[in-house]
Structure 1
Amino acid sequence: MCADRVTTAVRSRIMASIGSKDTKPELKLRSLLHRQGFRFRLHRKDLPGKPDLVFPRYRAVIFVHGCFWHGHDCHLFSMPKSRKEFWRQKIDRNRERDEVQRETLTNLGWRVATVWECALMGRSRLGIDKVGECCVAWLQSDEAALELRGREAEEAL
């Protein structure tokens, strides 16, 4: 086992404080889209996955995914050194759940976008203006899906 820099109690408190709503990347995107005149609902419980932003008028939803929690292949994700099996299983379950939710929403007639944290933050960020421009163009299109990733992840494709 690798030594942690903080005690188990402190680590537990840190992990418990990480929320799934109103994250910095989500707030940035919400603010920009609202300024652009888009109106949306937040975290609708009646939709699979409780999407971060729901645009009923466009029959579209946007998920803003944290790269760590959803196991994204970018510089913001690295598998923890301790309790490797626990974290591998947890992240794999998150990925599987994300896929099922996307498929279910699509089957219900919703268009689904995923904006990764690395598109908005970190050294590979596209920047909020570029992300906003892409989201606006997608919302106004008939495209079924959109995935926005940081520059490094895009270049690796």
Structure 2
Amino acid sequence: MVDVVDNVTRSRMMSGIRGRDTKPEILIRSLLHRHGFRFRLYVHDLPGKPDIVLPRYHAVVFVHGCFWHGHDCPLFKWPRSRPEFWREKIKRNQENDNRAREALLASGWRVGVVWECVLRGAGKNIEGVAQSLADWLRSDTPLIEVRE
């Protein structure tokens, strides 16, 4: 299938996608705040620059977009244009995610990952996601992945 917009327009559209303060991140932050959790954002001296850092719980939360991190879910579809570029890009993102997760766990941080797909679409249990995160933060489990 041919792209419906020209290369210049597609490039402009893709460059406009934010890497921080995305709708899923803001939703997770709001849910955590409503449950009484206080946090810091984008601590750059931690591996992977986590989206949310909860120092009191020695925990970090990454909010992953399904496309950019290659999640195996209905939201993710391989692009048809420049497939070799996108396969390499997404593979590199996944490798960086794994390295950051391992480095954080090795240094004693607890790691949570929330996937975009659990937050989008009709019938999603947003409060269930919030409760899962709250339960995890109050436990001593080192890793949680909230996915569809």
- SS of residue in 2 equivalent to 1:100: helix
Mapped partners of 2:88, 2:12: distance in 1: 21
Mapped partners of 1:127, 1:46: distance in 2: 33
Q: Which residue of 1 aligns with 2:117?
A: 118
Q: Which residue of 1 aligns with 2:45?
A: 46
Matched residue type, 1:50: K
Mapped partners of 1:25, 1:38: distance in 2: 17
TM (norm. structure 2) is 0.97
| Cα RMSD, aligned residues only | 1.0
Q: 1:103 Cα shift?
A: 0.2
Per-residue CA deviations over 1:7-50 (Å, capped at 9, x if unaligned) read 11110111001011011111111011111111000010010111
Return 5+ residue gaps in structure 2 as ranges: none
Return 5+ residue gaps in structure 1 as ranges: 151-157
Q: Which residue of 1 aligns with 2:86?
A: 87
Q: 1:82 Cα shift?
A: 1.1
Q: Which residue of 2 aligns with 1:140?
A: 138
Q: Which residue of 2 aligns with 1:22?
A: 21
Matched residue type, 2:131: E
Q: 1:128 Cα shift?
A: 1.4
* Greater than 4 Å deviation, 4+ residue runs: none
- SS of residue in 2 equivalent to 1:92: helix
TM (norm. structure 1) is 0.91
Work out the percentage of aligned pairs sharing the same amino acid.
57
Q: 1:126 Cα shift?
A: 3.9
- Total equivalences in the alignment: 148
